[in-house]
Structures are given as structure tokens and as C-alpha cells.
């Protein structure tokens, strides 16, 4: 063959090799970008004679990458020839798809293993959390390279076996930057910063990951200023470096410095923005958190979750629901944290419609089988006044944890259903779940709300001797409330004096409530003095004492207390009520409904109700007005309490046959309680009112509390 002939053959061979390489590369490229169909088309269109092992390996890997292990295995079995790379690809593919047993089967069956085979299998066990098996396999390896050692080191650090990791680290024949950085990170996780820094200082070469690991270690362990000094001398920084330093400030509550650093960041990744939203929000700077959110070009699940969580924790319930609706409009998939936060908001606002909607999404996402989710759902339905649905969720679970039992006990308690709460408590014991301190708060409160003094005292006595639960100040508060509601105010006072710990504001508040119910002014004045010492900024006790003075016509004393409130700059929480109509929450404050767009028809309904109530024999109780005015003005003032405005709006908007659900931020006043009983009777409607203490179910002129509140 002449020169030109040999050149032609050589050129043909080179082109064939080039085509084969190009085919394998194209398949791999399409697989990485998620275009499996394109990858398969390239593979199928390649003539069988030109399909190299590399092409087959690339196509098998593509199926594994696309989470189609069956197709990958089917193609592997059709391969005319296989090499060690083929078998290694099968091992790593199974591991990526969570099929560790199958990977081990391949490993044991393969004809020849190299260091990659062994290392892949060790890595698989480490990722699966079986570090002990990874270690056994590691020491059986005939040959190890720096990657093998580093993978095993990472496994020991993952298992928090820091001393074993150090011993392995010292045995390593070669320590690259990755291995040393991992060891530094392990020490930082354990808070052993001096040892981490010693390794860091000994390194001849460091990369940006090493620097970032050390900065992050200082930041996460509270040594933020040291982290900042190291951060400032970094030869280069990336987004992770900036974010690690930022998180040091946000987690330490140093939002001023965090804000300055955030403004300096050359690129603001989503993770950093999310961190600022949570940081600002938890510091009470909700407007700044919202501003960061709105200025973001890209948002992930964590962004929406962060702002919803901020709204939930800082009392911006309406804004949280608004953001929830916006997520739905924009087609953002709700993740688990967002759903739990929205459920908590629904519980706070008693937004039953939204709560049902979130419950539906939890069912579709199969989150509703989780015990924690079930407890949150039960609490939501209870706080929305829907005990039937709460019990339905509760009954779905044959095995219940203590939180679920507590949710039902507390739920029945809040609704004044003492007998039902006690039955759940006894069922809890029969099921083998021991009650805890929260259980006893719920069951003692149930006894208090339903007048079961004897049962409550017996349960309190059994706490320590039978259930080994040490009574805390909250349990004593329940007992004071139990005795006080039953009219045994002096006995309640004696209990306060004999408590083994200092009574707190809850205890004195329970005593004051009993004094208000049974008009014991002497003890009420003692309780108010104690509360003034414990909570000097809280106006509630003074207002309650003012009510008592007003009911006795002691207007001079009322005026003295009014001046005391002004001079101390104490906080008087304004009364407000709300009602949900067609997934929109309508708020009302005492006095009038001028802020509401439908104020005229609300006022007409109130006038109509006033006439019906007078015909039914209603007489306003002027003792709930804190002003020395004539009876006509008192009647007018009482007529515009926020709960009455909300009930009037509910009568206008809630379809007949459906209960009217109203919430109030304070305890319902006695006059409104009497009036709403009659409204339920004359309108033929069921009205459910949740105040700061409990639920009241009004129907046919009666309340579920039986006037025992």
C-alpha cells in the first residue's frame, strides 16, 4: 500500500475514533441537561458497529441520572462487551437511586474490581448512614488512594466520631486540601476551634472552601468577631463565604452589622436573602424583612417559608394569609414548613376555610400521615371551634403520641367539655401513654371550666404520687382557678400562700378573675398589687379592678386607677373581634364599625337586634362600662362592643344552617355573654365565640359554659 493509501486508512480510523468519542460525549451532555430522549436518539442512530463501550456506558449512566434504574439495568444486560468502568457505573448508578443492596450485589458479582469500585461502595454506605459497614469494607480494600481515605474520613466525621477520624487522618499517606478541610470542618462541628485552627495554620495551601470552613466554624460557634477578622484577610471569597459570615451575624442577633455586610455583597444569593428575611423578622423588623423579600429577583421555597414564618411569629396573621394566597396565585408549590406555619396562623385567626384548604394540600402531599402534622391539624380545628373534625383526625391514628393526646385533652378543656376531657385523659392511660405536665394543665383546666372541683383536686394530688409528674406553677394556677371559679376564693388565696414556689402572674391573674366573678374587692386589690409588681406595663388587672369599682359606683376609685394607667404608661390592649367570611377576615374594634366598608348595614342589623333583645327581656349590665355616665349612654356603649359587631356581621353574611364563628382577643364581657345567648335564641342561629380564655357555644338561649366562666 502506498503512502496515500496508508494516509487514507489512518485518516478513516481517526475519524471513526473521533465519531465514537463524539457520540459518547453527546449522550453524556444530553443526560446532564435532562434530555434523555435526545440522548437515546443519538445512541440509537449510531451504527451498531460504531457503538463503543463508552457509548453504552454513557447511555446506562443517562438512565440512572434520569431515575430509571430498570431501563439502565436492561440496557446493561444487552451490552455486547463490558469493562470495569461499566460495572463501576452500575454500582454508582444504583447508589444514586438509593438501591444500596443492589449495588452491593453488583460489587460482589463483578469479575474485576479496582480502587474506584471499592471507593464507590464505601461512599454508598457512608451516604446511607451505615458507617460501620463502610469502615469494614474500607479496611478490606487491597489498594487505597487519597479519595478512598477522604471518603472514609468523611464517614467518621458524619458519625461524629471525631477521635477515630483524627486517628485515620494521621494514618493517611497523603493528605490533600479536601481531606484537611474535612477535618477542620469536623472539629468546628464539635466546637473544637483551637484544633481546627491549628490544622488550618499548618496547611501549605488552602482553597476558598478551606477559608470558608474556618470562617463558618467561628461564626457558628459564636466567635463572630474572630470570623470577621479571618474573613477580611481571605485571598478570595465566593457566595458561600459571604453567606457564612452573614449567618454569623444573623444568628447572633447582630442585624446592624448583618445589614451592612449584606449591602456590601457583590452577589446576593437566595440563601443569603432568606437569612436576612428571618434575621430581620425575628428581630421584630418585619418591614425590612418584607423589603428584602420584595426586592428579590429569584425566590425559592425557603424564601416564602421564611416570610410566612416571620408573619406567623410576630403576630401578622392577616399578612401571612395574604402571602399564602399570593403563593397560590403565582403557582408556587407549598412546602412542608409553609403549610405548618399557615396552619398555625389559621388556628390563631380561627380561619377554618383556609385551614381546610391547607389540610387538603397536606393530604395530597401525603404529609397528613405524620404524627406532628396530625397534632397541628387537631389544634387548628379545635381553635377554629370544629371539634368534630379534630376528633376525626385524632381517631384516624391507632397509635398516638403524647402530643396528640394532649391536643384533644386541651381541646375539650377549652370548649368547656370537662367530662369529655376526663374521658380522653383516662383513655390515654389505658393506651399506655403516660401523661406529662402539659396533659395535667389541660385536664385541670377542664375540671376548672366545668366546675369539677372534686375531680380536679384528686387529679392534682395524683400527679406526683401516681404519675411521677412534679406540679409546677402552671398546675397551681389551674388549681387556684378551679377553687376560685367554684366560689372558694379564700381557699384559693390560702393555696397561693402555701405554694412551694413564688406565685407568678398567671396565678395572681387566676385569683383576680375569681375575685371579679364573686366580687371580692379586698383580695382583688391584693392580687392587682402583686400583678403590678410582676407586670408593671400590663393594664389588664387595673382595668378589671376598675370594672369592679364601677359596678359598686366607686367612680373616684375608677378615676384614680385611670390616672395610674396614664402615669405609668402601661399598655391597655384594645378589645377587638374578628370573623372569617369567604376566606376573608373582617376585624372589628369596640365603639363602632366605621372602618368597615359595610358599616351602614351592620348598624341596621344592630338596631334590629336591639329591638328583638328588648322584647326578649334583655337589660344591659352597666357595670361593664368604665365611665360615670347615665344609663342611656351606658346602654349605647355596651351595644357597640366588638364581639356584638362581629356577630351582627355574621348574621348578615353567614348562610343559615352554618354556625357563626367569632373570635375575640380579650375575655368576653358579661353583658355581651348575656346578649349573645339571647341573640342565638331570637335568631335561631348557633354562635361560637372564642375569647382569650375559652370557647362559648351559644344555642337556643344557652351557652356551653352554663354561665360557669
Average pLDDT of the chain is: 87
Q: How far apart are CA 255 and CA 141, in angstroms?
A: 51
pLDDT computed for residue 7 by the predictor: 43
Alpha helices in 574-640 (DSSP H): 599-615, 631-639
Q: Which of 102-111, 243-252, 550-559 has the highest mean pLDDT?
A: 243-252
Residue with cell 348595614: 601
- Name the maximum alpha-carbon separation found in the chain: 127
Residue 193 vs residues 157, 206, 236, 623, 694: alpha-carbon distances, Å: 15, 17, 22, 66, 51
Exposed/middle/buried for 291, CB within 10 Å: 0-12, 13-18, 19+? middle
| pLDDT at residue 702 greater than cutoff 80 | yes
| pLDDT at residue 56 greater than cutoff 80 | yes
235 close to 243: Cβ distance less than 8 angstroms: no
42-50 mean pLDDT:
78
pLDDT band at 633 (very low <50, low <70, confident <90, very high): very low
Q: Which of 14-23, 33-42, 532-541 has the highest mean pLDDT?
A: 532-541
pLDDT computed for residue 33 by the predictor: 73
pLDDT band at 496 (very low <50, low <70, confident <90, very high): very high
| pLDDT at residue 628 greater than cutoff 90 | no
Q: With pLDDT > 90 as the criterion, what percentage of the chain qualifies? A: 57
229-247 mean pLDDT:
96
SS3 94: helix
Backbone torsion region of residue 573, taken as left when φ is above 0, otherwise alpha when ψ lies between -120 and 50, otherwise beta: beta
- Range name among 43-47, 147-151, 320-324 with the lowest pLDDT average: 43-47
| pLDDT at residue 12 greater than cutoff 50 | no
445 close to 411: Cβ distance less than 8 angstroms: no
| pLDDT at residue 183 greater than cutoff 50 | yes
230-251 mean pLDDT:
95
| pLDDT at residue 4 greater than cutoff 80 | no
pLDDT computed for residue 465 by the predictor: 92
pLDDT band at 115 (very low <50, low <70, confident <90, very high): very high
- In 3D space, the residue among 426, 436, 367 whose CA is nearest the CA of residue 401 turns out to be 436
Backbone angles phi, psi at 38, to 5 degrees: -65, -40
pLDDT computed for residue 624 by the predictor: 47
List, for residues 306-336, the tens digit of each pLDDT value. 999 999 999 898 899 899 889 888 888 878 8
Cell digits of residue 75 = 440496557
* Global pTM exceeds 0.85: no
The distance of Cα 271 from the centroid of its chain, to the nearest Å, equals 19
Q: How far apart are CA 239 and CA 221, in angstroms?
A: 20
Q: How far apart are CA 285 and CA 289, in angstroms?
A: 6
Where b means 16+ CB within 10 Å and e means fewer, 195-225 reads bbbebbeeeeebeebbbbbbbbbbbbbebbe
Residue with cell 405548618: 340
126-147 mean pLDDT:
93
pLDDT computed for residue 369 by the predictor: 82
Q: With pLDDT > 70 as the criterion, what percentage of the chain qualifies? A: 92
pLDDT computed for residue 239 by the predictor: 94
Neighbours of 426 (CB within 10 A): 11
- In 3D space, the residue among 322, 335, 267, 263 whose CA is nearest the CA of residue 290 turns out to be 322
- Range name among 251-260, 552-561, 616-625, 640-649 with the lowest pLDDT average: 616-625
SS3 585: strand
268-291 mean pLDDT:
95
pLDDT computed for residue 502 by the predictor: 95
H or E segment and range at residue 580: strand 576-581
Residue with cell 390592649: 573
pLDDT band at 337 (very low <50, low <70, confident <90, very high): confident
Residue 533 vs residues 226, 288, 505, 527, 642: alpha-carbon distances, Å: 42, 35, 9, 10, 30
pLDDT band at 18 (very low <50, low <70, confident <90, very high): very low
pLDDT computed for residue 638 by the predictor: 53
Q: How far apart are CA 80 and CA 78, in angstroms?
A: 6
Domains of the chain, by residue range, sit at 416-567, 577-703
| pLDDT at residue 225 greater than cutoff 80 | yes
Q: How far apart are CA 670 and CA 91, in angstroms?
A: 74
248 close to 220: Cβ distance less than 8 angstroms: yes
| pLDDT at residue 199 greater than cutoff 70 | yes
93 close to 61: Cβ distance less than 8 angstroms: yes
SS3 429: helix
539 close to 570: Cβ distance less than 8 angstroms: yes
- Range name among 150-154, 635-639, 670-674 with the lowest pLDDT average: 635-639
Class of the CATH domain delimited by 416-567: mainly alpha
| pLDDT at residue 632 greater than cutoff 60 | no
Q: Which residue has the higher pLDDT, 322 or 568?
A: 322
131-146 mean pLDDT:
94
Sign of CA dihedral 457, 462, 467, 468: positive
Backbone torsion region of residue 160, taken as left when φ is above 0, otherwise alpha when ψ lies between -120 and 50, otherwise beta: left
Amino acid at each position: 500500500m502506498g503512502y496515500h493509501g496508508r494516509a487514507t486508512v489512518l485518516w478513516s480510523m481517526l475519524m471513526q475514533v473521533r465519531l465514537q468519542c463524539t457520540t459518547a460525549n453527546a449522550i453524556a451532555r444530553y443526560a446532564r441537561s435532562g434530555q434523555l430522549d435526545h440522548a437515546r436518539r443519538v445512541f440509537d442512530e449510531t451504527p451498531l458497529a460504531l457503538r463503543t463501550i463508552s457509548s453504552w456506558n454513557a447511555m446506562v449512566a443517562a438512565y440512572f441520572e434520569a431515575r430509571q434504574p430498570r431501563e439502565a439495568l436492561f440496557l446493561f444486560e444487552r451490552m455486547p462487551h463490558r469493562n470495569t468502568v461499566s460495572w463501576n457505573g452500575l454500582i454508582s448508578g444504583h447508589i444514586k437511586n438509593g438501591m444500596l443492596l443492589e449495588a452491593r450485589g453488583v460489587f460482589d458479582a463483578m469479575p474485576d474490581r479496582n480502587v474506584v469500585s471499592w471507593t464507590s461502595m464505601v461512599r454508598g454506605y457512608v451516604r446511607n448512614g451505615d458507617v460501620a459497614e463502610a469502615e469494614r469494607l474500607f479496611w478490606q480494600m487491597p489498594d487505597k488512594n487519597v479519595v478512598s481515605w477522604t471518603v472514609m474520613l468523611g464517614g467518621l466525621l458524619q458519625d461524629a466520631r471525631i477521635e477515630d477520624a483524627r486517628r485515620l487522618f494521621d494514618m493517611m499517606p497523603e493528605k490533600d486540601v479536601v481531606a484537611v478541610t474535612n477535618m477542620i470542618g469536623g472539629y468546628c462541628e464539635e466546637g473544637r476551634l483551637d484544633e481546627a485552627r491549628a490544622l488550618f495554620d499548618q496547611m501549605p495551601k488552602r482553597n476558598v472552601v478551606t477559608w470558608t470552613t474556618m470562617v463558618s466554624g467561628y461564626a457558628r460557634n459564636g466567635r463572630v468577631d474572630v470570623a470577621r477578622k479571618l474573613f477580611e484577610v481571605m485571598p478570595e471569597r465566593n457566595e458561600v463565604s459571604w453567606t457564612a459570615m452573614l449567618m454569623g451575624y444573623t444568628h447572633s442577633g447582630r442585624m446592624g452589622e448583618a445589614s451592612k455586610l449584606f449591602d456590601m455583597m457583590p452577589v446576593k444569593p437566595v440563601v443569603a436573602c432568606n437569612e436576612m428575611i428571618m434575621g430581620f423578622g425575628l428581630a421584630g423588623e418585619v418591614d425590612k424583612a418584607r423589603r428584602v423579600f420584595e426586592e428579590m429577583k429569584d425566590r425559592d421555597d425557603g424564601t416564602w417559608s421564611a416570610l410566612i414564618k416571620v408573619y406567623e411569629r410576630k403576630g401578622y396573621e392577616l399578612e401571612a394569609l395574604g402571602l399564602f394566597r399570593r403563593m397560590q396565585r403565582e403557582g408556587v408549590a407549598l412546602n412542608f414548613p409553609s403549610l405548618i406555619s399557615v396552619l398555625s396562623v389559621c388556628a390563631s385567626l380561627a380561619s377554618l376555610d383556609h385551614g381546610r384548604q391547607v389540610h387538603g394540600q397536606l393530604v395530597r402531599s401525603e404529609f397528613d400521615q405524620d404524627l406532628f402534622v396530625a397534632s397541628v391539624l387537631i389544634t387548628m380545628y379545635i381553635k377554629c371551634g370544629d371539634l368534630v373534625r379534630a376528633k376525626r383526625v385524632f381517631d384516624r391514628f391507632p397509635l398516638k403520641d403524647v402530643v396528640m393526646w394532649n391536643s384533644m385533652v386541651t381541646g375539650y378543656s377549652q370548649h368547656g367539655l370537662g367530662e369529655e376531657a376526663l374521658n380522653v385523659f383516662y383513655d390515654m392511660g389505658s393506651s399506655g401513654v403516660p401523661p406529662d405536665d402539659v396533659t395535667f394543665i389541660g385536664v385541670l383546666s377542664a375540671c376548672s371550666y366545668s366546675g369539677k372541683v372534686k375531680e380536679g383536686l384528686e387529679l392534682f394530688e395524683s400527679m406526683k404520687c401516681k404519675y411521677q409528674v412534679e406540679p409546677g406553677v402552671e398546675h397551681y394556677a389551674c388549681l387556684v382557678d378551679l377553687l376560685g371559679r367554684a366560689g372558694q376564693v379564700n381557699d384559693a388565696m390560702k393555696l397561693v400562700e402555701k405554694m412551694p414556689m413564688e406565685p407568678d402572674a398567671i396565678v395572681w391573674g387566676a385569683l383576680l378573675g375569681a375575685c371579679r366573678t364573686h366580687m371580692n374587692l379586698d383580695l382583688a386589690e391584693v392580687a392587682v398589687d402583686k400583678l403590678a409588681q410582676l407586670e408593671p406595663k400590663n393594664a389588664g388587672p387595673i382595668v378589671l379592678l376598675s370594672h369592679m369599682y364601677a359596678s359598686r359606683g366607686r367612680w373616684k376609685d375608677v378615676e384614680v386607677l385611670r390616672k395610674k394607667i396614664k402615669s405609668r404608661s402601661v399598655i391597655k390592649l384594645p378589645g377587638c373581634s374578628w370573623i372569617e367570611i369567604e376566606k376573608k377576615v373582617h376585624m372589628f374594634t369596640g365603639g363602632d364599625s366605621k372602618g368597615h366598608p359595610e358599616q351602614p348595614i351592620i348598624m341596621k342589623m344592630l338596631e334590629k337586634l336591639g329591638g328583638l333583645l328588648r322584647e326578649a327581656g334583655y337589660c344591659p349590665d352597666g357595670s361593664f362600662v368604665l365611665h360615670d355616665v347615665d344609663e342611656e349612654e351606658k346602654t349605647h356603649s355596651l351595644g357597640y362592643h366588638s364581639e356584638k359587631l362581629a356577630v351582627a356581621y355574621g348574621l348578615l353574611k353567614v348562610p343559615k344552617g352554618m354556625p357563626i364563628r367569632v373570635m375575640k382577643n380579650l375575655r368576653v364581657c358579661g353583658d355581651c355573654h348575656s346578649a349573645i345567648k339571647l341573640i342565638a335564641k331570637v335568631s335561631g342561629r348557633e354562635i361560637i365565640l372564642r375569647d382569650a380564655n375559652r370557647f362559648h357555644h351559644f344555642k337556643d338561649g344557652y351557652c356551653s359554659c352554663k354561665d360557669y366562666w
